[in-house]
Amino acid sequence: MPALRAIYTIWLRDLIRFAREKSRIISMLGQPLLYLLIVGNGMSATFQLSAARVEGFNYLLFMYPGIIGMSVLFTSIFSAISIVWDREFGFLKEVLVAPVPRWSVAVGKALGGSTIAMLQGSILLLLAPFLGLKMSFAQLFALLAVLFLIAFSLTSLGITIASRMETMEGFQMMMNFLVMPLFFLSGAMFPLKGLPDWMDKVMHLDPLTYGVDALRHIMYGQMPALKTLTRFSLPHDLLVVAAMATVLISLGTISFSRQNHN
């Protein structure tokens, strides 16, 4: 019970902080919208893909799940920055000396960041009708579940890194080095076919690769021109993301449990 209460408290604290930071909500939505409206339209007009010869192909629709994945990626990774923030302002010290297992704090942070990232991604789902995309309630429910799974995996990665960082500047530099490669190597901007061997191997290590692929399966199940550009099967995507989430949250809890409260 103390562990469950700690998980719930940390989760609720993160949600309350998020709800109070209106500027954070707007800024986290701004960059994905910028990519979708400007980069997406620009590339669809000027960049010719071999897949464009497929009847019914639409680059903006192809990019849409990747942009949602981008929103989840940014929100998930940077939600872990609160660990560094709490360390600098002393709140983390109070948490670490509390009579609760430290792993419960890490799990609470992961669930809080995952919930926030899922909500951010779900806001972008409101753009679907404007792109001419119709989805059933079953599809929307499946998308939310996949978004949460992706977010949990990425938030756990952020916690693993943040728990080892002493300063905000160090964490931000690490994230800037990590986030964009995770995004561009996920297949969000281009199909995962016909790539160099080294890039193909790196893509297999990116959890967002499987997450974006799963989103495309769910969104475009009835659109053959777009579904043919998926790389893996939906069960394979979900299994890999779940496995990565399990490994990363395990690493995150171990790393967090080694924190020094002095």
Instruction: Give the 3-state DSSP-derived string for the chain, with helices as H, strands as E and coil as C.
Output: CHHHHHHHHHHHHHHHHHHHCHHHHHHHHHHHHHHHHHHHHHHHHHCCCHHHHCCCCCHHHHHHHHHHHHHHHHHHHHHCHHHHHHHHHCHHHHHHCCCCCHHHHHHHHHHHHHHHHHHHHHHHHHHHHHHCCCCCHHHHHHHHHHHHHHHHHHHHHHHHHHCCCCCHHHHHHHHHHHHHHHHHCCCCCCCCCCCCHHHHHHHCCCHHHHHHHHHHHHHCCCCHHHHCCCCCCHHHHHHHHHHHHHHHHHHHHHHHHCCCCC
Q: Residue 57: what pLDDT?
A: 61
Residue predicted with more confidence, 31 or 179: 179
pLDDT band at 94 (very low <50, low <70, confident <90, very high): low
Work out the mean pLDDT of the chain and round it to a whole number: 79
Predicted TM-score of the model (pTM): 0.84
Q: Residue 204: what pLDDT?
A: 86
pLDDT band at 237 (very low <50, low <70, confident <90, very high): very high
- Is a pLDDT exceeding 70 seen at residue 53? no
- Is a pLDDT exceeding 70 seen at residue 51? no
